[in-house]
Every structure is written in C-alpha cells, then in structure tokens.
Amino acid sequence: MKSLTAAAISVLMFLAHAPVSTFAQQSGSQQQPSSQQQSGQDDAAPEAGGPTGDNGSIALPKKKEPAEPAPPPAEEPKVKNPPGLQNFSLHVDVPVVTVDVGVILEKTHQFVPNLKQENFRVYEDGKPQQISSFQQVKAPITAVLLVEFASTSYYFVYDMRNAAYTFAEQLRPDDYIAVMTYDMHTNILSDFTQDKRVVFNALNSLTIPTWRETNMFDALYTTLDRLSRVEGRKYVILIGSGRDTFSKITLDKTLAKIKATPNVTIFTMSTGGWVRAMTEGRGGFGGQLRDMDYLQADNEMQTFARMTGGMHFEPRFTGELPEDFAAINESIRNQYVLTYTPTNTKQDGTYRKLHVELVDNEGHPLRMQDEKHKPLKYDIIARDGYKAKEQVE
C-alpha cells in the first residue's frame, strides 16, 4: 500500500515539473484555436462578393489598383518635302459677295446718308439674300482716267480736256490716279500717283493727236486687265465720244470682260454734245448715219456704267462739268457697303443678276420727302450682277 502511494506522488511531481512548450506541442493538434487567433482570422476581409460565413465580416469591394501610366506616344516620323516643293493646305472657300450701293437724289445728285441695314433688300437672281454686314464708308479712291485723244474733231478734244481737268481739280491728297489715253493705240501717260502735278503734267502733254482711229474697246479691255491686279475697289473715268472704229476686241468680249472683272465701277462721259446738238438731223442720209452712230455710242457708254453701278453723263456745255463730277464724287466717296453669303453656293462661273431696293420699316418701298413734304426721287446705284467663282480658281 505504501509502495502504491509513493508511485502516485512521484508521477504528480513529474507532471508538475514538465516544460510548458512540450505541452503546447503535444496538445496543439487537438485543442481549438485561441480567441486571439480567431479574431485575427475574422478581421481579415473576405474576398469581394460576400462574406465567407454567416457571422463573418461584411465583404467590401476591392479597390482597383491604380493603372500604370500610359507610355508616351511614339513620335511621328518627320518627312521632308523634296527640294522646291512648298507646304500646302486644303481649305474651303465660303463665297461672300460685297455690293457697293450709292443712293443719290435725282435732282441734286446728293448722297442720301443715315440709311439703316433694315432699309436695304438684296436679291440675287430674284431670290432674297440675308445681309451679313453693313456700313457706310467715305474713303479715298483709286481710279484710272481713260480719255479719248484722236484727231477726229476739235470740239471732241476740247470737251475731253475740259472734263479731264475738272476731274483732276477735285482730287484729294489720298487719291491714287493713273492717266491713260487711246486712239489707235492705248498709252499710259502716268502710273498711279497721289501727286496732282503729275496728273496735270500728263494732261498738258496732250497737244497734237496723231491717229483718227478710236479703239475704245481695246483701251477699256486693257485697262480692266491691268486693274484686275490691283487690290480693293477701283474706278474708271471714261471720257470720249464712245465710238469704236478699229478695235480688235469686239463689244461682246468687252462686256464679258466687264462682267468678269470684280470691284470695278465705270463712270462714262460723252464728248461733243454741243456740236452734235448743232448738227443733228443735218447732212442728209450721211448725217442720219452719223447721228445713229453717236446714239449707239451713247448707249454703249451707258451700258458700261450701268453694269458696274456707275453713272453716265452727256453734257452739252462746259458749265455742266463741275456739277457732273460733283455727282461722281458724291457717288464714289460716299457709299453703303453690303455683304452677304449667297444662297446659291455653286462655284460654276455663272453670271448672277443683282437687284437692290430700299424699303421702310413695314417693308414697303421707301419714300423720301423734302422739308416741305414734297416727294423726292432717288437713284439706287449698284452693279447689276457679278460672276461667280469657278472651282479651278
């Protein structure tokens, strides 16, 4: 009995002195994880899409990792043009039409100021156009004084000289004027200048005419061809009898040239009015042919002016010249400038007819009155059409 009790005591003493680590290793496979270990597993967020158990943590969607910065774009290879080849770009032209309009009183030839954009209506081939810009301008002029200097009759040369000097006297310091003459040939007496003395010296050189031929069509065609290289608005002051005797250019080609030349206004003045009035109806059949010839010349001169928005004059006396050129100055120095984008955008090179009219606030034709409430008649001066661009231009 004593031996059994001593054995039990020795076993208890052995267990009491056994190392803790040995216990933990022996019982680790059988014991449940401690609460600290469970808490560490629960705190770990489960995979996105839901918790792993009924009592687990709430699943949070995973944040996307920031994307890596995109690599820089590869540099485009630089291609050099062959020697002599320039850079070029492609662009689309939106056609814009500019119309110079003068409004002149019939009786006094005075310019009518203070009109508004709403007072103007522009029609192209009978279709109304929307005016995009509007302004009243008063600017210096660039003009060619084209005069007939042929040995036909003293009276015609006398009238031409008086008209040319009257025009030159009304020039202003900022005006650019060139002087050209024509008989059988077209001659440039002075290039564009702002010096009045150069213009007067050119006119003073016209002393003795040489040829009897009056090639007006050739002269006007050459003048328009030269003016097509000059920028801006240009004017031609054509002074002569209007007769053409030996031109290589026909009337049809001259009219086509006028239509094809943009930004040019022609003012015409017939000479020999007094001598024609004194001899009209005389000389039998030959005199009738002469009268018809001059009537045809006047009609051609008037056509040149009307097509370009200019004015035509047929003075009989020298005293009429200052008033006539004052009307020209009123017309060319005071104008309304209208621009619009045509509804017909085709670039087919066709000739488009233009028509300008004045209306009141209610759309009715505009009526003007003087201080005594008497009606005033007025003229609307604008070119009758323009030539559209072609695609090859």
Encode pLDDT of 47-102 as tens digits.
Answer: 444 444 444 444 544 555 555 666 666 665 565 656 655 565 545 566 889 998 98
Mean pLDDT of 209-229: 93
Q: How far is CA 79 from the centre of its chain?
A: 35
The pair of structure tokens assigned to 81 is 């043009």
Predicted pLDDT at 309 = 87
Question: Confidence class of residue 41 from pLDDT cuts 50, 70 and 90?
Answer: very low
Mean pLDDT of 175-189: 95
CA dist., res. 3 & res. 269, Å (int): 162
The pair of structure tokens assigned to 87 is 């850079």
CA dist., res. 236 & res. 240, Å (int): 12
**pLDDT over threshold 90, residue 6:** no
Predicted pLDDT at 270 = 95
**pLDDT over threshold 80, residue 300:** yes
Q: b/e for 108-129, b at 16 or more Cβ within 10 A? A: ebbbbeeeeeebbbbebeeeeb
**pLDDT over threshold 70, residue 167:** yes
Predicted pLDDT at 208 = 87
Residue extents of the structural domains in the chain: 93-138+334-393, 140-333
**pLDDT over threshold 60, residue 348:** yes
Question: Confidence class of residue 304 from pLDDT cuts 50, 70 and 90?
Answer: very high
Question: Confidence class of residue 284 from pLDDT cuts 50, 70 and 90?
Answer: confident
CA dist., res. 380 & res. 164, Å (int): 26
User: Class of 140-333 per CATH?
Assistant: alpha beta
CA dist., res. 347 & res. 263, Å (int): 18
15 or 350, greater pLDDT = 350
Predicted pLDDT at 39 = 45
Question: Confidence class of residue 11 from pLDDT cuts 50, 70 and 90?
Answer: very low
Average pLDDT taken over every residue of the chain: 81
Give Cβ neighbours of residue 161 (< 8 Å, ≥ 6 apart): 203, 206
Per-residue pLDDT tens over the stretch 127-150 = 999 999 999 988 789 999 999 999
Q: b/e for 266-296, b at 16 or more Cβ within 10 A? A: bbbbbbbbebbeeeeeeeeeeeeebbeebee
Predicted pLDDT at 217 = 97
**pLDDT over threshold 70, residue 29:** no
**pLDDT over threshold 50, residue 267:** yes
Fold exhibited by the domain 93-138+334-393: Immunoglobulin-like (2.60.40)
C-alpha separations of 266 from 44, 192, 273, 332 in Å: 96, 17, 20, 10
Predicted pLDDT at 331 = 84
Q: Is the pTM of this model over 0.75?
A: no
279 or 61, greater pLDDT = 279
**pLDDT over threshold 80, residue 10:** no
Q: Are 268 and 304 in contact (CB under 8 A)?
A: yes
CA dist., res. 54 & res. 47, Å (int): 14
Predicted pLDDT at 73 = 63
Mean pLDDT of 355-363: 93
Predicted pLDDT at 332 = 86
Q: Which has the minimum average pLDDT: 39-48, 76-85, 179-188, 294-303?
A: 39-48
Share of the chain above pLDDT 70, in %: 76
Predicted pLDDT at 70 = 63
Per-residue pLDDT tens over the stretch 368-391 = 988 888 899 998 988 889 988 887
Share of the chain above pLDDT 90, in %: 47
Closest CA relative to residue 196, chosen from 159, 240, 160, 145? 145
Q: Are 230 and 262 in contact (CB under 8 A)?
A: no
